[in-house]
Amino acid sequence: MRQPSDDAVFILTLGFDAGGFQRFDGMRRAHFPAKRNLIPAHLTLFHKLPGERLEAFASDLEEVTRDTPPFEARITGLRFLGYGSAYVVEAPRLIELRAELARRWIAELGAQDTQRFTPHVTIQNKVAAPVARSLFERLNDEFEPFTATAQSLLLWRYLDGPWAQERRYDFRSEEQATPF
């Protein structure tokens, strides 16, 4: 693990079970422009966390994941983005968890991270509007709701395009702790 620098930027995403992730990432690989697809499918919680606060963020993430068991995320539809499409994700526990972190980190959050949180996983973006509309209509016609399990929070270092996973915080509850 690299040492944080004051100018580093971090991104926090939700980690899904293997089956959910494979489904999301397979759709992203199939429909996102290959030259622009530098990162795996993801659900972003925070877009720009400053590196100088990394250890404080890490402490908060350890605390909240320690008391949070894995939870279900329902994928209820598709959202048209104008130049792409995203899966709509409904998970009340995720909304609560993100709100708790936002309250703790409000002084460090930029404008994008203080806007209303609408959980989604982008599977296509940065294509011509007619191409995006065509895929959205086809996928929307075929769509059937499904679920994925939220299992962790993933902290990524932004590398001017690609991301590098820095740390992973698995959800667990006190009941799941291993006794000594």
Q: What is the pLDDT of residues 109-133, one digit of tens each?
A: 999 999 999 999 999 999 999 999 9
Q: What residue type is assigned to position 70 of the chain?
A: P
Dihedral sign for Cα 167, 45, 37, 152, please: positive
Residue 178 is predicted with a pLDDT of 46
Ordered DSSP codes for 72-140 = EEEEEEEEE-SS-EEEEEE-HHHHHHHHHHHHHHGGG--HHHHSPP--EEEEE-SS-HHHHHHHHHHHH
Residue among 178, 157, 159, 180 nearest 168 (CA): 157
Q: Which residues span the domain enclosing 46?
A: 9-74+93-122+150-176
Give me the helix-helix angle, 92-105 and 54-66, nearest 10°. 150
Residue 5 is predicted with a pLDDT of 59
Residue among 129, 149, 139, 18 nearest 89 (CA): 149
Q: How many domains does the chain have?
A: 1
What global pTM score does this model have?
A: 0.91
Helix (H) or strand (E) holding 31: helix 18-31
Residue 173 is predicted with a pLDDT of 63
pLDDT tens figures, 45-72: 999 999 999 999 999 999 999 989 999 9
Residue 84 within a domain: no
Residue 108 within a domain: yes
Instruction: Check if the beta carbon of residue 114 is closer than 8 Å to that of residue 99.
Output: no
pLDDT tens figures, 131-175: 999 999 999 999 999 999 999 999 999 999 899 999 999 999 655
Strands 163-170, 146-158: pairing kind: antiparallel
pLDDT tens figures, 8-49: 999 999 999 999 999 999 999 999 999 999 999 999 999 999
> Which CATH number fits the domain that encloses residue 35?
3.90.1140.10
Q: What is the mean pLDDT of the chain?
A: 93
